[in-house]
Chain A
Amino acid sequence: MHPVEVSHIAKSFGSTRAVVDVSFAVERGEIFGMLGPNGAGKTTTLRVILDLFKPDRGTVSVLGGPMTEQKKERIGYMPEERGLYPDLSLERCLVYLGTLKGLGAGEARQRVGGYLAQFDLAEHRKKKVKELSKGMQQKAQIINTILHDPELIIIDEPFASLDPVNMQMVKDLLRDLRSRGKTIIMSTHQMHQVEELCDRILLIDEGRNVLYGNLDEIRRQYSGHAVLVRAAGELPVVPGVEQVSLHNNAVKWTLAQGTTPQDVLQALMAQNVILEKFEIALPTVEEIFIRAVEEGEA
């Protein structure tokens, strides 16, 4: 049983078709990335999964069936539009929201205390939420999402307005949650962020599936169009190379259509070039997305 299964859902708002046809399944214990540009339909898809919107078409199964009130307690959700009670003290706000997720008041208070200490917020527990910095509020939002130890965590744009330190902290936390068997769905338009985190991805554009599957397999599937080369001396001109760019300590050659890495290697060997590095460059998620969209349009 998949924790989340979405089958051909569609959702329109008036004349706007936010989601046209999206399908995917999320494996237990993975970080699943839902990627796409702004306006692709990611948030609407998440809201359909969470039963905030009913789909016009298609079916959704969450934790083994339709959404119920009991299941809400097994899900942690961090919306893109962050929201906590600004006039409540941080501790009271988190305890109240924790009890709404099924925790007893005492247990909620105990867990909040622990998380506030872990996130360096303990000394701000009595401050009103609106008195906290944006970064602190973001941390509080994360605490609220995981406080009740949910088995399914859905996070919409987790890295929005985070500084590098907090961004790293969130990444570490997501990895830690995965290692504890939690299933995480992460939606973002910042594609480079998911490369190091996600096990599988779904690329959405204009409300439709563009690419879906294991991230490594997808990258391998889309590789072969560039190689990373480093030589002892200067690199010669090789036919079939369309674009040259620097990539760390090597040169990245983007190959023309019909040219394979083997062709390039043979050409270098033929010119007796002493190679220090020759590897097939894996494309970035962003590059894959652009190619997938272009192929789709073609």
Chain B
Amino acid sequence: MSKLRLVALHEYKQHVLKKGFVLSIASVPLLIALIVGLGVITDRMKYNGKAVGYVDYSGLLANLVAPPESSHSPLDQLLERPVSLIPYPTEDTAHTALDAGEIQAYYVLAADYRQSSQAQLVYIKPPGENATRQFRDFLQVNLLADRPPEIAHRAAEGTSMTMRTLDGSRELVEGQFLSVVMPMLLSLVFMILFMATSSTLVQSVVQEKENRTMEILATSLSPGHLIGGKVLAVVAMGLTLLVSWVALIGLALFFGGDILGLDWARDVRLAPQVLRTVIPAAILSYILYSALLAALGSTVADTQESQQLGGLMALVFGLPFYAIVVLIEQPNSPLAIGLTLFPLTTLTSLCLRSGFGSVPPWQLVSSLAILALSALGAIWLASRAFRLGMLRYGQRVNLREIFRGSKSRTAGAAKAVGGK
């Protein structure tokens, strides 16, 4: 087995077999579940199960037609609070019932309702969303009662709008909001992924310096193999996390869509065009960041300093989030293009821009090319910094030394600690 693979395997096992890593795997799906759960609970808090009254002067509801069986998901039906609809002959009787707290609100349909389509809603406190929705469905069914079933069904369905980009590569179906924000969520996932794994690489290098294992390692294999193995391990770690998250989220969506019948869960889609753009950018970005972090780990003096630098890098990674309004509203503004072409913000910018439109091919190709060149440069920088800094205990290596070192044949151009 090559030493590169040995180091990668050792580092991978070292980190993946820790409890913290298992927690990291569970963290994102749990966070999403928590956010969705809180949303559902907040939504359901707007429901009110008390009865709703109505006064019908139009005669439209004289021959009542019962609403069809609910087409909502089993979960929605479970959480839905059914509301009784009570007819009142006059507004006075309805109002008396409202004052007595027997009903939460009442509707008044005027005699000319068919012409005006105007209904009056009377309440003391705004009624629950479930109540208004159930009355609307009830009214709709009765309005369409004398129509042929297919027309009634189509009218009940309402409008459905689909938007497509000019090049036809992206389309948005009305109501599938999650598909729009998916690229944005993806960038958030990458950011969490980066934050979860970034410190690992820096700490690994710094700790080997601190516990003096570095000298043993440096006399066993080349700096390139050592640093390359570490970068590979972190990339593999990141992939493990990503695949685990995708699998868990996919499982949750399958459960929500196919078992619980949640429409939004079934409608979550990620456009192939987005995947084709984001995947190469993600891989190159990950290599770029990993190599830069390895370089930083070689130059800093201790673990604490390495953690601070890791945090700083995470801030740079998330920089496009601060310009999200510009990226969405003016995707071809100089700022948006600049953030897309700047290698450290390419991935996040592409994710954010892909959600709301298409990135022009020239920008895509240019940004990926710059990213690839930067990743190669970062690997070179990392191996230089590592060679210079590997025997510096408690001392920093500055950038000037790294570049100066590259012009001369001297390795370790500054004093090492640990004997003379």
Q: Which residues in A have some Cβ–Cβ distance to B below 8 Å?
A: 13-14, 16, 18, 38-44, 47, 50, 52-54, 56, 69, 72-73, 75, 77, 79-86, 96-97, 99-101, 144, 156-157
Listed stretches B247-255, B259-267, B376-384, B407-415; interface member:
B407-415
Given contacts A69-B222, A96-B10, A100-B221, contact A85 B415 (CB under 8 A): no
Kindly count the residue-residue contacts between A and B in the assembled complex, taking CB atoms under 8 Å apart.
94
Given contacts A69-B222, A100-B221, contact A83 B215 (CB under 8 A): yes
Given contacts A52-B215, A54-B410, contact A14 B416 (CB under 8 A): no
Which of A42, A44, A56, A77 has a CB less than 8 Å from the CB of B219?
A: A77
Which of A75, A77, A83, A157 has a CB less than 8 Å from the CB of B212?
A: A83
10 more contacts with CB within 8 A, not counting A43-B419, A83-B216, are A38-B419, A41-B420, A42-B420, A44-B416, A50-B219, A54-B410, A79-B212, A79-B215, A79-B418, A84-B211
Q: How far is the CB of A129 from chain B (nearest CB, A)?
A: 9
Complex: chain B residue closest to A129, CB-CB: B211
User: Could you jot down 20 A-B contacts, CB within 8 Å?
Assistant: A42-B419, A43-B419, A43-B420, A44-B419, A47-B412, A47-B416, A53-B416, A54-B409, A54-B410, A54-B412, A69-B221, A77-B216, A81-B393, A82-B212, A83-B213, A84-B216, A85-B213, A97-B216, A100-B6, A156-B419
- Bound CA span A43–B212, Å: 15
User: Count the B residues whose beta carbon is within 8 Å of the partner chain — how many?
Assistant: 33
- Bound CA span A18–B410, Å: 14
Binary contact track B201-221/A, C-beta < 8 Å → 1, others 0: 000000010011111111111
Is B3 at the interface (CB under 8 A from chain A)?
Answer: yes
Is B344 at the interface (CB under 8 A from chain A)?
Answer: no
- Bound CA span A144–B413, Å: 29
A interface secondary structure, majority: loop
Which of B211, B220, B393, B411 has a CB less than 8 Å from the CB of A53?
A: B411
Question: What chain A residues lie within 8 Å of B414 (beta carbons)?
Answer: 13-14
- Bound CA span A38–B391, Å: 18
Question: What chain B residues lie within 8 Å of A81 (beta carbons)?
Answer: 212, 215, 393, 418-419
Is A100 touching B391 in the complex (CB atoms < 8 A)?
A: no
Which of B208, B211, B212, B415 has a CB less than 8 Å from the CB of A14?
A: B415
Is A52 touching B412 in the complex (CB atoms < 8 A)?
A: yes
Complex: chain A residue closest to B221, CB-CB: A100
Given contacts A53-B411, A54-B412, contact A101 B418 (CB under 8 A): no
Q: How far is the CB of A101 from chain B (nearest CB, A)?
A: 6
- Bound CA span A99–B416, Å: 27
Most chain A CB inside 10 Å of its own CB: which residue of B211, B393, B419: B419
- Bound CA span A213–B415, Å: 30
